Amino acid sequence: MPETTRLIPLTEWHKHHPWPPHGGLRHLCFFKETNGFARAFKKVGRRVLIDEAEFFRCVDAQQQEAA
C-alpha cells in the first residue's frame, strides 16, 4: 500500500507549519529544479501543492549534504 501524504496548497502552508514563511516557501518553489525540492512541489493547473512528507524528506537531505 502506498504511503499516504498530505498535499497542502502553497498559500495554506502557514496554517499547518510555521516554517518556512510564505516568502521562503515561494523562493524554494521558484528555484526547485536547482535546490533539490522539485519532488516536493506539484503543480495542478495554476495551483501549487506541497507534498508534506516529501518536503521534509528534502529538508533532511539538505541537512545531510551540509554535514
Give the residue extent of every domain in the chain. Answer: 7-66
Low pLDDT (below 50) residues in the chain: 1
Q: Quick one: CA dihedral 14, 52, 6, 9, positive or negative?
A: positive
pLDDT of residue 4: 78
C-alpha span between 61 and 48 (Å, rounded): 22
Identity at 26, one-letter amino acid code: R
| pTM of the shown model | 0.89
pLDDT of residue 67: 75
pLDDT of residue 1: 42
pLDDT of residue 18: 96
pLDDT of residue 5: 85
